[in-house]
Amino acid sequence: MTTVGFIGLGNMGGPMAANLVAAGHDVLGFDLSQTAVATAREAGVRITGSVTELAGAARVVITMLPTGRHVQDVVLGDDGVLKHAVDGTVVIDSSTIDIQSARAVHAAVTERGLPVVDAPVSGGVAKARAGTLTFMVGGTQEAVGLARPYLNVMGGNIIHAGAAGAGQAAKICNNMLFGATMTAVAEAFVLGERLGLDARSLFDIVSTSSGDSWALHNFCPWPGLVEGSAADNGYQANFAATLMSKDLRLALSAADEVGVTLPVSSSANKVFAQLASVDGHLDASAVIRQIRGRD
C-alpha cells in the first residue's frame, strides 16, 4: 500500500482516485470543488485541506486538472507540490495540457531530483470508472517504470510514447484525429439526409465500408442508431464539445510551433470553437447541429 496524493477529483480524477482506493492504496485527495470532494470522500479518499499537506504525506502525486496553467500552479507554485514533496516522490500529471507546460513541469521536477511523467489519458469517464483508460506516457524509462504500477490500477493500456512531453504529443495527435473524424461523420449524415438517404441505411453501409471510424461507433451523431449514444439522450455529454475544442486548439497550436499546416484539423477546430461558444456543455457529437446550421 502506498500513500497516493490525488489533486483534481473531477469527472475523471474522482473515479481514477476511487480505483486507487479500491486497489488498497491510501489515497489523499485535494480539490477546490466541494462537490468533487464530497464524492471522492464517499469513495474512500481521505480529503486534505491543502496541496502542501498532501505533498508532505504522499509518495506518489497525481494531478488531473483542466489546463497547463492549473498544473503549473499546483506543481510549481509557491504552495505547490514541488516545494513540499518528500524525496523520492513520483510525480504523474494525467491532465491534457500543452506540451510546453508539460516540459516545464518535467524540467523543474527533474531539477529537484524527483521522477516525473506526463501521462494523459483517453477513454473518458466510463473507462476512468472501469479502470481501463489508455495512458500515453512521456518521461525516462526509470520514471515510467516507477509510475506504471499506479497507472496499471487506473488503465488497461499503458504506452510509453517517448521522452518528456511525448505523452501530451500523442494525446494531441489522437484527439485531433477524433475531432476531424467526428466532424466528418456529422458531415456525412447531413449530406446523406439532404440527398434523401435513410440514416439507418447510411449507418449500416458506412460502418461496414471504407468510411468506418471509431467516432461513428462511439459518438454516432444521429439518434436511434447506436444504443446509449449521446444523440439518444439530448446530446448530454459523454465527451463535452468544450474539451474537444480545447484539444483541437492544443493540436493546432503545437502544429504552429513546429511549422506544420493542418487544413482538415483547422476546419474541425473552427467548427468546434463555434459549437463550444454556444453549446460547449453538449456532447462532441452535437457538432452535427453546427454542420446543419452552416448552410
Least distance (Å) from ligand NAD to the CB of residue 203?
A: 24
Of 17 and 143, which has the nearer Cβ to ligand NAD?
A: 17
Active site residue 270: no
Provide DSSP, the chain.
--EEEEE--STTHHHHHHHHHHTT-EEEEE-S-HHHHHHHHHTTPEE-S-HHHHHHH-SEEEE--SSHHHHHHHHHSTTSHHHHPPTT-EEEE-S---HHHHHHHHHHHHHTT--EEE--EESHHHHHHHT-EEEEEES-HHHHHHHHHHHHHHEEEEEEEESTTHHHHHHHHHHHHHHHHHHHHHHHHHHHHHTT--HHHHHHHHTTSTT--HHHHHS--STTSSTT-GGGGTTB-SSBHHHHHHHHHHHHHHHHHTT---HHHHHHHHHHHHHHHHHTTBBGGGHHHHHHTT-
- Closest chain position to ligand NAD (CB): 10
Residues in touch with ligand NAD (CB under 6 A): 7-13, 30-33, 36, 64-66, 70, 73-74, 95-96, 121, 124-125, 239, 243
Q: Which of 83, 171, 246, 270 is catalytic?
A: 171
Least distance (Å) from ligand NAD to the CB of residue 121?
A: 5
Of 151 and 202, which has the nearer Cβ to ligand NAD?
A: 151
Of 64 and 185, which has the nearer Cβ to ligand NAD?
A: 64
Of 5 and 115, which has the nearer Cβ to ligand NAD?
A: 5
Residues labelled catalytic = 171
